[in-house]
Structures are given as C-alpha cells and as structure tokens.
Structure 1
Amino acid sequence: MEAFQSIDFGKAIVIDNGSFKIKSGFAGDLTPKLITPTSCAREYELAMLAANIRSGVVVDCGDDSTRVLPVYNGRPITEAFVTEEISGKDITEYLAYLIESENGSYFDQPIITDIKEKVGYVATDYNNELRLSNSFPFSYEISEDELLSLGSTRVRCPEPLFQPRLINKKSLGVHTATFKSINMCKPDIQSSLYENILLVGGSTLFPGFSQRLYKELSILAPVNTKIRIIDPPTRQLLAWLGGSMAANEAKFTCNVVSKKEYEEYGTSIINQRFISSTGTRRI
C-alpha cells in the first residue's frame, strides 16, 4: 500500500511496447520507470493457463467478434480456427433497438449496457421462454422516478449469439461455430476437445449461456459424446489472470530490468539479458 501512496495518479501512464521490451513510465518523465520483457504469450495461452488446461477449445465471445480455437497439448490448431462476426456490441445495439421499438424509450449506451449485463439471460428453450417472460415482466430502475418494464426483451437480446439471423447476420451461432471448429480437427482428439470447452469473454457471462451451449452441442455432437463446459466466474478477465500468473513465476520475475540498471547500462542490458546471439528471445 505504501508504494501506491507515492505515485501521482493524476499523471498519464506512457507505455512503449517494443519488439523485445516494454518501457513504462509517467507523462513528463525523462526516462522510463520500469522496463520488462515484451509479452510472450497469446490470449488463448493465458486463458488456458489460468484455467489449468492443456487441451481443449477456447470459445471467446468478445465485444467485437466470436472466436473459437482448439488447442491440443498446448499447441493451437490454427487450421481449425473459426471467427464469426457476432459480438457483444451487436447484442447491445439489438437491445437498444428492442427497447426503443417496444417501449418507445431511448437511452444512452452506458444505460443500455448496464441493462444488458444486469437483466439479460439466455434461454435453454427460447420459444418457450418467450411466452413465459412476457407473463413475468421485470422492472429496471432508470432513476428514482423512472422504471423500465422489460418482458421478453430480457431473453430476446442475447439470442442472436445462437441465432444471428435474428439481427440479419449470416454468421454461425456460437454452438455451430464451436462444432465446426472441433469437426475440423483430427477425429482421434475430438473427444478430448469436447471435454474441455473453455468460455472466455464478457458475452459468455449471460445467465444460461453455458447451459444453452451444452444443450446445442449435445444435439450436434456424435451420440454419447462427453461434453464439459468450463465457465469460470471471472472469465472476462481470464487472459489477464493467466498473464498475472505467468508473470508471477520465478523464471519471469528474474527477467526484469530495473530503472537503475537501464540508466547504468542502457539498451545493452536488454540485449544481454533477453536476446540470444541469434537474435531470438530467451524467454
């Protein structure tokens, strides 16, 4: 806590992400405060590290796209990588459209996003849930004097993740993209991939998402296939958590250049510590 008290949080942080090193400091500094090795892991590697998985499928539903990547024994199967243009941003825009068309109300994006995150949910049986949700509307508090009544909108807004056609997109749904990706892998490893389907990204946080994905994959996958969906509660931060774990290992922390060393030796300390004679990174 004492270390944080000495920092002026009013200053902007300046980060130079170079090929072999990252230089970080505060605006106005003449030299960087910290120099560390450039990140040497991809997002899927960090997510799987955090989940303690070596083989499986990373299903990443983010704000800009949905990406599915199988990994076997720590190695990505890039030829089976699938990306679809269905995203959290699409869900936010669709929710805004639903509220405006059904309630005649318009709200700024921060409010729409908050509504999406607090009241939206994925139905296991979409058509049945549509009927039920209208019978039990939910009131969202816009302000002390304003309530927004939401019925089927709650279940309709995330449904394009599984049925993109609802928002006129030709993309595959999350379940179909996952099935396609696994099906592109060698048959002898597909069972191990089905057993470790790791969810990543904020759009997988909708209540019911994991159960719906399990149901849909059970229909698509071969009979008697064992399917396991891994859905850590903090999966929107899973890659960061993996990076934090990796950086906390002794072999990583010993590969850091201090400000004092940099001032004394300059860039030569970087070449000496992190780059081999052949020009490749040692970490």
Structure 2
Amino acid sequence: NTVPIYEGYAIPHAIQRIPLAGKDITEYLRGLLKERGYNFTTPAEIEIVRDIKERLCYVVHQNFDAVLKESVENTSIEKTYDLPDQRSIVVGNERFRCPEILFQPKHAGLEIEGVHKYAYDSIMKCDVDIRKDLFSNIILAGGTTLFEGIGERMWYEIHQLASSNNKIKVLAPPERKYSVWLGGSILAALSTF
C-alpha cells in the first residue's frame, strides 16, 4: 500500500491499496522456474521458491528490456541454488524478471499499475502545498522492498512521472522489513494512544 503521511498524520483519501504482494512475486517466480524445467508444487517446495526469491532476486535500475536481451547471451547473471536434497538448480534472468512485476505487472498478466505509479498517484491526491515534501521523503517499508536495487528503480520511475522541479528522494532503511511493526509498537507505547 502507499500511505502518504504528513507531520505524523496519514492522509486517508490519498491512501492507495496495491493488489500485488510478495506472495504474487513468489508465484510468478515459480512459473518462470517451471519454464526452465523446475517444477515446485508442494507447500515445502513453494517455500524453497520464496527463499530463492529472497536470496537471489534483484531489481534492475532501468532499461529492463535491454538487460533482458543481454541476459539471453550472457550467463554471468546465473546463480546456483542448492536444494535441501543436495541437488542444485541454476537461476538466470528469472532473478530480475520476477521482481519486475512490481513495476510492470503486465508481465504477470495483471491489469494494474506498477508500484511507482501508485506512489505517484498517492502523492498527487494530496494538497499541492505538501507534494514537494512527500516527493522528497518516499520511504520503502515491508519485506517486498528488500530486493537489491528497488530504491534506485523507484527513484528512476517516479522521476520519470514527476515534474522536473520536484526533488525525488527514496529512502530504504535497513530495518524496513519490520517498519510496520516498529511503527505500531511506537504508536502503542504512546500515552495518548
């Protein structure tokens, strides 16, 4: 979800629900690996796919199509993943193809916008006087934002949408996997809550 917050308060009318999550990316990766000849069907095997996603996948900064084309001829991006049964599999361009659906959901057959567009639209629904502050303080939170390169890509994509007089800043704090929990615990600890 995208939640614009200004001076400590959420702006409810500008909150956007994104119908795409880590589970969808795992499922898409499962399909990509199946195309490569690796079939993961049981819950334990799907957990392996999730682990592959978390350990090996990354977001390309820009020019996805060029990187994809180059990956067909270049095997340097391939990584080996050791399965629990001592076998191993090779994961190639699936490493960056699966998280690409965050920015181009159509690759997975989804008729929705990319996360960058939701963030941009959320900011644009806010009062014009606070947009500059929101553009300069975009904070990534949650486990799906842990992909290497996601901050740079988010900056690039929002920069393409926003007017040139907006300073775009995307923050990816190291503890972002638990940001929601941390925020909730701080809120619950307040005497005014």
Same fold (TM over 0.5): yes
Post-superposition offset of 1:247: 5.5
Residue 87 of structure 1 is aligned with which of 21, 26, 47? Answer: 21
Structure having the higher strand fraction is 1
Residue number in structure 2 paired with 1:110: 47
The answer as to 2:138 corresponding to 1:226 is no
Do residues 199 (structure 1) and 140 (structure 2) align?
A: yes
Partner Cα separation in structure 2 for residue 104 and residue 241 of structure 1: 38
8 Å CA contact 1:198, 1:229 repeated in 2: yes
Distance change (3 Å), C-alpha of 1:178 and 1:243: closer
Query: Higher helix share goes to which structure?
Result: 2
* Distance across 2 between alignment mates of 1:183 and 1:245: 28
Identity, in percent, stands at 37
| Unaligned 5+ runs, structure 2 | none
Count of residue pairs brought into register by the alignment:
186
3-state SS in 2 of match to 1:68: coil
Matched residues in 2 for 1:242 and 1:111: separation? 30
Alignment of 1:75-224 (within 5 A): 75-106=9-40, 108-125=45-62, 126-134=64-72, 135=74, 136=76, 137-143=78-84, 145-224=86-165
CA shift for structure 1 position 77: 1.3
Q: Secondary structure at the match of 1:148?
A: strand
Q: Contact 1:77–1:185 (CA<8 Å) still a contact in 2?
A: yes
RMSD: 1.8
After TM superposition, give the deviation of residue 122 of structure 1 in Å: 0.6
Q: What are the superposed Cα offsets for residues 33-71 of structure 1, whole Å, 9 maximum, x if unpaired?
A: xxxxxxxxxxxxxxxxxxxxxxxxxxxxxxxxxx11111
State TM-score, norm by structure 1: 0.62
Q: TM-score, normalised by structure 2?
A: 0.89
CA–CA distance in structure 2, aligned partners of residues 190 and 149 of structure 1: 45
Extract unaligned runs of 5+ from structure 1. 1-66, 253-281
**8 Å CA contact retained: 1:182, 1:193:** yes
**Counterpart contact for 2:141–2:177, Cα < 8 Å:** yes
Amino acid at match of 2:136: E
Amino acid at match of 2:26: T
Tell me the amino acid that sits aligned with residue 150 of structure 2.
F
Task: Please state how far the C-alpha of 1:133 moved relative to its aligned partner.
Answer: 3.5
